[in-house]
A = this chain, B = another copy of it.
Amino acid sequence: MSTLPPQPSAPGADRPARGPDPDDPRIEAWRAFLEAHARVTRRLDEELRAEHELSLAEYDALLQLARAPGRRLRMSVLADRVILSRSGVTRLIDRLAADGLVGREPCPSDARGAEAILTPAGRSRLAAASRTHLRGIERHFLTALSQADVETIGRVLGGVATQACAGAVSGEDRAASDCEPGEPRRRA
């Protein structure tokens, strides 16, 4: 393959610019968001693995279980909360169960279903890991933000999540409150 015709490289000079402009500051906000996420989660994941042999996803699953009434959750509900596919969550629970951090039980009210239950070992592992994790969020995410910034982000990105959720290909999550009366969902 030969290279392109010379096409002098004045940056930004030959942009097609149909539709939204790629250099729009609004788009840059999106890119800043993306990059911040990539860098911060990478750090948090590293720290969790190094200090507690837990991935961020595993930590998150333990946390969701800890918060659920009875410390148990149906697989599909858990999948929705940690934002993973069903099979993803099956395998995640496989790993955690192999470490004794969760147990599996058939759902009493619907024999098709299964529940994941946090074990005492899981609780204490979570408690230990949460110190690392919260410290990491503080250090890598929150310190760069003023109180007002944090407030804005919390308020505004909650809306973004639901916005992106509505109209998604895979339908609504009308799960929950089948096995458990359960807490209302956080945001969605």
Contact = CB atoms under 8 A, between A and B. Distances in A.
The range of chain A's interface size is: 35 or more
A170 to B, nearest CB: 10
A111 interface: no
Interface string A3-31: 11101010100101111101001111111
Contacts of A18: 131
A131 B38 contact: no
Nearest to A165: B39
Residue with the greatest number of chain B CB neighbours at <10 A, chosen from A3, A22, A67, A159: A3
A103 B150 CA distance: 43
Given A134-B19, A160-B141, A161-B39, A67 B153 contact: no
A63 B16 CA distance: 13
A28 B5 CA distance: 41
B37 A142 contact: no
A157 B3 contact: no
Given A4-B127, A183-B11, A29 B151 contact: yes
12 contacts: A4-B126, A17-B142, A17-B143, A22-B63, A25-B150, A27-B137, A28-B154, A33-B141, A36-B157, A36-B160, A46-B169, A152-B152
Interface of A: 1, 3-5, 7, 9, 11, 14, 16-20, 22, 25-43, 46, 63, 66-67, 69-71, 83, 103, 117-120, 123, 126-127, 130-131, 134-135, 137-138, 140-147, 149-154, 156-161, 163-165, 168-169, 183, 186-187
A130 B4 contact: yes
Contact of A14 (B135, B147, B153): B147
